[in-house]
């Protein structure tokens, strides 16, 4: 056992289903509170959206997806498979129901509510990473601004308006405008089409696969049992919980956490009324002529670029599609064609590590974090911000599980709410 002593009356054992950033963070903070942890995942550590994302820890950019503008973009994308936000013309009943709920929540009041709900997670997300790094998670975290690039000052002013709305809700924002030589020094890959930039200060970035694997090693080194198994059900039983496996076995513990990302709804079933849908994102790696000091964002085409192992990881797009479907090459081509005019010195034809991963999206822009049924908890639905909010989610949920008291920061994320309520 590690960390503080187990609180009287709290659980002695827990099964965490899911070995991504959210599940492993929850496991780590449960261990801090003296709980014996078993982590179960069908494919292993960092196999889902935790591996191939842009790696940003960017509290100043955690804007909810369900904005009124997103609905317009989605409708315009129906006939365009290359659009940054793509909704297929055909959808099964589950996806169709999700899209209806998503459309109903693409209003300013719902977006503002989600934005305000995220503030406590934003405020503590960097500190939660510091706790992990300072206690044995052996992976680097780099402080750097995220630099947004624009063709003209009007586009930069539009993004400043979005950031000011976040600031008015209570988020700390520090932005520096760049142009001319200062812009070229900060982003040596910027093409001549770029005339303005904004440095969003106080952010961080990581190699997400490396960090999550290091977190998995730390959890195992602290005594967790790590098992690669597929789970079919998680239920309350007797004084604890039973985790049923596809191979016919079952595991028991005092409590369980479902943190399976885009697959959360499959295990939670009808016990939660807010669906979690796969919003698939793509990434790939390309060589560059000149290294970047930090991440860059291309807001006009919704593309994120991050220094990665001496090259550049390029990530973008959001498509609502079954998480099991293979990558769609046209989506990668669309990212390349949209970003090519904005960046020079990038060897687009030499791309490697092409990846598609399902980001767990809710229709009202708020994740599901809390108790679903007695001793069974869920944590997921963070959308594009699961990496940034994973550690702080794990810390708050571990507090909830071991004390029985819901932290104020989690009240807006009640998994038993109805969509938008």
Which residue shows structure tokens 């993004």?
159
Examine residue 314 and state whether it is found in any structural domain, yes or no: yes
Which of these, 260, 267, 261, 258, lies nearest to 361 by C-alpha position?
261
Q: Are 28 and 226 in contact (CB under 8 A)?
A: no
Q: Are 392 and 307 in contact (CB under 8 A)?
A: no
Examine residue 6 and state whether it is found in any structural domain, yes or no: no
- Residue 83 has a pLDDT of 65
Examine residue 3 and state whether it is found in any structural domain, yes or no: no
- Residue 8 has a pLDDT of 59
Number of domains composing the chain: 1
Q: Which domain range does residue 389 map to?
A: 13-413
Tokens of 191: 């093409």
Examine residue 67 and state whether it is found in any structural domain, yes or no: yes
Q: The CATH number of the domain where 348 resides is what?
A: 3.50.50.60
Examine residue 257 and state whether it is found in any structural domain, yes or no: yes
Examine residue 293 and state whether it is found in any structural domain, yes or no: yes
- Where the chain has pLDDT below 70, the residues are 1-8, 70-91
pTM value is: 0.93
Tokens of 328: 């769609």
pLDDT digits (tens, 9 = 90+) for 173-191: 999 999 999 999 999 999 9
Burial class (CB in 10 A: 0-12, 13-18, 19+), 36: middle
pLDDT digits (tens, 9 = 90+) for 12-46: 999 999 999 999 999 999 999 999 999 999 998 98
Examine residue 420 and state whether it is found in any structural domain, yes or no: no
Examine residue 419 and state whether it is found in any structural domain, yes or no: no
Q: Are 190 and 19 in contact (CB under 8 A)?
A: no
């Amino acid at each position: 056992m590690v960390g503080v002593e187990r609180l009287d009356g709290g659980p002695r054992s827990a099964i965490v289903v899911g070995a991504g950033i959210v599940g492993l963070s929850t496991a780590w903070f449960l261990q801090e509170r003296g709980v014996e942890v078993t982590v179960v995942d069908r494919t292993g550590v960092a196999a889902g959206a935790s591996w191939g994302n842009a790696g940003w820890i960017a509290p100043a950019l955690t804007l909810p997806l369900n904005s009124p503008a997103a609905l317009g973009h989605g409708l315009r994308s129906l006939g365009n498979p290359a659009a940054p936000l793509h909704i297929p013309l055909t959808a099964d009943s589950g996806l169709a129901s999700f899209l209806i709920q998503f459309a109903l929540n693409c209003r300013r009041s719902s977006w503002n509510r989600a934005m305000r709900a995220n503030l406590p997670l934003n405020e503590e997300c960097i500190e939660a990473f510091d706790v992990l790094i300072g206690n044995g998670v052996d992976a680097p975290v780099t402080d750097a601004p995220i630099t947004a690039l624009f063709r003209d000052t009007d586009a930069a002013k539009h993004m400043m308006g979005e950031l000011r709305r976040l600031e008015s809700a209570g988020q700390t924002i520090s932005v520096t405008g760049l142009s001319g030589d200062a812009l070229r020094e900060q982003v040596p890959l910027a093409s001549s089409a770029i005339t303005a930039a904004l440095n969003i200060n106080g952010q961080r970035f990581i190699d997400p696969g490396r960090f999550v694997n290091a977190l998995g090693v730390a959890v195992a080194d602290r005594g967790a049992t790590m098992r690669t198994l597929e789970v079919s059900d998680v239920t309350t039983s007797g004084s604890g919980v039973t985790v049923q496996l596809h191979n016919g076995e079952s595991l028991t513990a005092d409590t369980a956490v479902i943190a399976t990302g885009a697959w959360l709804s499959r295990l939670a079933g009808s016990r939660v009324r807010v669906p979690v849908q796969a919003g698939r994102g793509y990434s790939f790696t390309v060589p560059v002529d000149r290294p970047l000091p930090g991440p860059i964002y291309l807001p006009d085409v919704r593309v994120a670029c991050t220094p990665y192992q001496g090259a550049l990881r390029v990530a973008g797009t959001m498509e609502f599609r079954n998480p099991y479907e293979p990558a769609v090459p046209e989506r990668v081509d669309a990212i390349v064609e949209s970003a090519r005019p904005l960046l020079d010195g990038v060897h687009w034809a030499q791309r490697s590590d092409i990846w598609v991963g399902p980001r767990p999206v809710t229709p009202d822009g708020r994740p599901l974090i809390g108790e679903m049924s007695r001793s069974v908890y869920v944590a997921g639905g963070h959308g594009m911000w699961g990496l940034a909010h994973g550690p702080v989610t794990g810390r708050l949920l571990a507090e909830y599980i071991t004390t029985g008291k819901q932290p104020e920061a989690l009240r807006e994320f009640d998994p038993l709410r109805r969509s938008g309520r």
